[in-house]
Amino acid sequence: MNATHPHTTADPPAEASHQTGQPRPRLLAAALTAAGRGWHVFPLRPNDKRPAVRDWEARATLDPDRIRRCWSTGPYNVGVACGPSALMVVDLDTAKPGDTPPRQWALPGVECGEDVLAVLAERAGRPFPFLTYSVHTGRGGRHLYFHAPTGAGLRNTAGARNGIGWLVDSRAAGGYVVAAGSVVTIGPDGEVTPAGRPAAYRVTHDSDVAALPGWLLDLYLQAAHRNDRLPSDRPAADLLGRRPGYAAAALRGEVQRVLDARPGARNDTLCRAAFALGQLVAAGLLPGELVERALTAAAAAIGLPQRDSAATIRSGLTAGQRTPRGMPA
pLDDT per position as a tens digit, 95-152: 988 888 988 999 999 999 999 999 999 999 999 999 999 999 999 999 999 999 887 8
Please, what sign has the CA dihedral across residues 148, 152, 157, 163? negative
Averaged pLDDT, 161-190:
93
Domain 14-81 top-level CATH class: alpha beta
Q: Is the pLDDT of residue 183 over 50?
A: yes
| pLDDT mean across residues, the chain | 84
Residues with Cβ within 8 Å of residue 193, at least 6 apart in sequence = 185, 186, 187
Beta-carbon-side half-sphere exposure of residue 249 (alpha carbons within 13 Å): 5
pTM of the entire structure?
0.66
Question: Range with the lowest mean pLDDT among 120-134, 230-244, 260-274?
Answer: 230-244
Q: Where in the chain is the domain with CATH 3.30.720?
A: 14-81
Q: Which pLDDT band, with edges at 50, 70 and 90, does 78 fall under?
A: very high
Phi then psi for 2, rounded to 5 degrees?
-110, 115
Averaged pLDDT, 297-303:
81
Looking at residue 23, its pLDDT comes to 66
Looking at residue 261, its pLDDT comes to 81
User: Which of the pair, 50 or 222, is modelled with greater confidence?
Assistant: 50
Q: Which pLDDT band, with edges at 50, 70 and 90, does 245 fall under?
A: low
Averaged pLDDT, 174-202:
93
Looking at residue 298, its pLDDT comes to 84
Averaged pLDDT, 280-307:
84
Averaged pLDDT, 36-50:
96
